[in-house]
Chains A and B, each alone.
Chain A
Amino acid sequence: MRHGKFRFLAGALTLPLALYGLLVLWPYLQAFYLAFTDWTGVTSEVNLIGIDNFTRMWSDPLFLAALRHNGLMLLVVPLAVIVVALGLAAGTRNTRVYRVVYFFPQLLSVAIIAVLWQFVYTPNSGLLNGLLSGLHLDSWRRSWLAEPDLALWCVMAVLVWSAIGFYVVLFAAAMESVPADIMEAAAIDGAGELTVFRRITLPLIWDSVQVAWIYLGILALDGFALVQIMTVGPGGPDNGTEVMGLTLYRSAFTYGKFGYASAMGVAIFFLSLTLAVLMLRFTRRERVELA
């Protein structure tokens, strides 16, 4: 009985692990090495140049603009999504049909969302300016994606729009696991709806909020597809919407600076890692046990 265990294991594991090693692990490891080289991809010549790529990044106006924009997204997008999603999740407590509608954008590809919203923002025939005209607010009409100060906010709005539904469903599911008798007891003791939410519901679903914060932070460090598809030229008007992913992509696949691009990849990796650790630290609270 049970002979051939190792043969079975070897047969089952070899192919998937080889695939994973070759196409996932190996590229990740290589990126750390390439980040310290001047590789251009044209020749097989690869020189180690120490931290030159990283010092160059700090004086590269394009990368710094991208960093600033991702930083702004990091501040705005997670907070906006979490606040709105918490409100909507609490509001849809007894009416689930809304959640079905809110969730749908989550399923659409970010590329499709980008194309859709590019149409919405189009100056002459777009939905948004059409809506403003319909409301007799013609002076509010804009070339949304062509104004450097406005374009990034338009992109962030799309990011929020596409992400909210998922977190409404996530928070709503967490809220349903809060026992009703606790909330009733609080209400009998005279606590208002807002107090109940702040003092009871929120602490009990804090785990979900924490998860949301990390996921949204990682989302805010990306933005590649939205910017690349929605805004004109590389990184929008006056680089107004440049994001790190786009700088990396262009450095590598347009200019062939593969070493430099890899260094940006390493920077993005450490930023995400730092972000996750910080989020976990600062959002840590005493776990509330439900007896």
Chain B
Amino acid sequence: MKTIRHTVLTLWALVFTVPLLWAFMSSVKTDAEIFDSPWQPPSTPHFENWSRAWEQASIGRYLGNTVIVVGGSLMLTMLLGALVAYCLARYEFPGNRAIYYTLVAGMLFPVFLALVPLFFVVKQLGMLGTYQGLILVYTAYALPFTVFFLHGFFRALPGAVAEAAFIDGASHAGVFWRVMLPMARPGMVSVGIFNFLGLWNQYLLPKVLNPDPDDYVITQGLAALAQSRGYGSDWSGLFAGLVIAILPVLIAYVFFQRQIRAGLTAGAVR
């Protein structure tokens, strides 16, 4: 019984790992080797495929664009999300509930519904295909979940510490920055990981809002390369690009796998 179970589990593990290992192996083969025998390992590893993908196939540039856009929107999302969640969780004021539910409703709507008008709003702002445009849109769409998640966190924090800080003469902003935000750190980390992955993996929004190939983010660039491969047919370079795109997430996962799994599943159940 036990061996059967392990056999099944191992077979399933292979179903998940083999395609990834195969992509890695293909990324260091020559085009001829890829074409002749998909299963054979390369005679000698050709790591120059990677540098070719990085430079000639623009993977390096796409990665750079992605880092700027994701970095910018991640910082903005965390800052604004924490501020909003904190205000809504710990202050009584008219309209508090209304704002909260309006924000949270944003999680329920399919992005497809907003796609057409969003395109024109961004266009009218003159921010189509710009870093700022993507950063602001990513942030706006990541806010609902961030506020929803952190709201619970700020609510659960003890009020006595903030009370003491107020008596010591701290301002509202001071209490937020120096007392409450540091206490909410575990929640910030979970949401931060969640947002990083979500923003890094965006495809639909840049596909619509980021039309210039020079500005492509990595997911867009890779998809475009794969679709035009009939003309260039640089298979090994394309595999190399694929592996380069997978590596950052894989490395992050190896180091933070426990937090990542806990953070993502906690987000689903709440």
**Contact call B235/A125, Cβ cutoff below 8 A:** yes
How distant is the Cα of A115 from the Cα of B27 in the complex, in angstroms? 13
> With a CB–CB cut-off of 8 A, which chain B residues contact A125?
34-36, 38, 235
A271 to chain B, nearest CB (A): 9
> With a CB–CB cut-off of 8 A, which chain A residues contact B160?
none
> With a CB–CB cut-off of 8 A, which chain B residues contact A261?
115-116
> With a CB–CB cut-off of 8 A, which chain B residues contact A88?
9, 12
| Cβ 8 A contact of B19, one of A91, A120, A265 | A120
- CB within 8 Å for A41 and B249 given contacts A28-B109, A127-B38: no
How distant is the Cα of A101 from the Cα of B108 in the complex, in angstroms? 30
Q: What per-residue 1/0 map shows which CB atoms of A117-141 lie under 8 Å from chain B?
A: 1111000111101110010000000
How distant is the Cα of A15 from the Cα of B76 in the complex, in angstroms? 11
The size class of the interface chain B forms with chain A is 35 or more
How distant is the Cα of A119 from the Cα of B6 in the complex, in angstroms? 29
Q: What per-residue 1/0 map shows which CB atoms of A1-33 lie under 8 Å from chain B?
A: 110111011011101110110111111101100
Judge if B117 is at the interface, Cβ distance under 8 Å. yes
**Contact call A127/B113, Cβ cutoff below 8 A:** no
> With a CB–CB cut-off of 8 A, which chain B residues contact A41?
120
**Contact call A116/B20, Cβ cutoff below 8 A:** yes
How distant is the Cα of A110 from the Cα of B198 in the complex, in angstroms? 11
How distant is the Cα of A204 from the Cα of B172 in the complex, in angstroms? 44
**Contact call B139/A19, Cβ cutoff below 8 A:** yes
> With a CB–CB cut-off of 8 A, which chain B residues contact A224?
112, 204
Interface centre among A12, A19, A118, A258 (most CB of B within 10 A): A12
B120 to chain A, nearest CB (A): 7
Which residues 93-110 in A have Cβ within 8 Å of B in the complex?
A: 95, 98-110
> With a CB–CB cut-off of 8 A, which chain A residues contact B12?
88, 98, 102
> With a CB–CB cut-off of 8 A, which chain A residues contact B265?
166, 169-170, 173
Which residues 186-206 in B have Cβ within 8 Å of A in the complex?
A: 197, 200-204
- CB within 8 Å for A258 and B116 given contacts A88-B12, A101-B17, A131-B39: yes
- CB within 8 Å for A119 and B26 given contacts A12-B84, A104-B250, A266-B113: yes
15 contacts across the A-B interface (CB closer than 8 A): A5-B91, A12-B86, A13-B87, A28-B109, A28-B117, A31-B117, A104-B250, A106-B264, A109-B202, A112-B201, A161-B15, A225-B204, A228-B223, A258-B116, A265-B113
